Amino acid sequence: MTELPARRLLLVHAHPDDESINNGATMARYAAEGAHVTLVTCTLGERGEVIPPELRHLTGAALGEHRLRELADALAGLGVTDFRLLGGAGRYADSGMMGIPDNDDPGCFWQADVDEAAASLAEVVLEVRPQVVVAYDDNGGYGHPDHIQAHRVALRAVERAADAGWTVPKVYLNRVPRSVAEAAFDRLRQELPGLPFARSAAVSDVPGVVDDELITTEIDGAAYAAAKAAAMRAHATQIEVAPDERHFALSNELAQPLFTTEYYQLVRGETGRPPGRDGEAGGSPETGGNRETDLFAGIEEGV
């Protein structure tokens, strides 16, 4: 068997572009540090709304093929070389936003059998043997059916892999602390006149915002801010990145902050928080007091 790298990270996302928005800086950092980073994307995003007028002729399968090329460009910029489409190209179609007729398409991901999809993902888990898996929360961050299904499939795949011999030491959910989101939007509203967007989004538009005390881990991606912005820009059908590379908008044309520190909630496994005074969990005020600053914290070498 091929020897596995010492650190292995697997991320599960619903559509092309989700990985760059949620985890671009994290992926770039760990790839640069020599970790094996695996991305599993569940659909090609065939029902996404296209921003540039010159590309709006792309729909259905043609849009999916185009978005796959965008994803390849984004991952190349992030330094990620291990990419999988769940079940193979075209196995699961984009379900569209919640509550539309497309949700009833028998070929869409929302209608997929969770155990069947999880079996495909578990095969990847057993091959890669990641110490860390990153997924959405049970609402998919913001209620999109494909994101909700990706959460279900990811956690079920972790269970199936454990039954087959590989227990993932740590499972995280994508998160944003409420105080960080609120402060970022306060700054955004002040800077909005200098941005190419007419209006600001709201904190409620950001997926995965939760109270600060639920955040267990933050990854400083400042050194990879340009890589994240470039990866997001590669998804040109879905994202418009401002020239300052600190803001972006989706097809709704509402400005959002581009976060280069990325946040997580540990939901399975033991935290590896830095020691504080008298051996208690600690850390600096800049890292939320007692948050981890490494997704692999506490994992023994060789696991």
Contact (CB, 8 A) for 263 and 216: no
Q: 21-58: b or e for each residue (b if 16 or more CB lie within 10 Å)? A: bbbbbbbbbbbeeebbbbbbbbbbbbbbebbeeeeeeb
Binding-site residue positions for Zn(2+): 15, 18, 147
Which tokens sit at 71? 């994803």
Q: 228-265: b or e for each residue (b if 16 or more CB lie within 10 Å)? A: bbbbbbbbbbbbbbbeebbbbbbeeeebbbbbbbbbbb
Sheet of 199-200: strand order equals: 199-200, 254-257, 247-249, 240-241
Residue 287 has a CB neighbour count (10 Å cut-off) of 17
Binding-site residue positions: 15, 18, 147
Distance from the Cα of residue 161 to its chain's centroid: 21
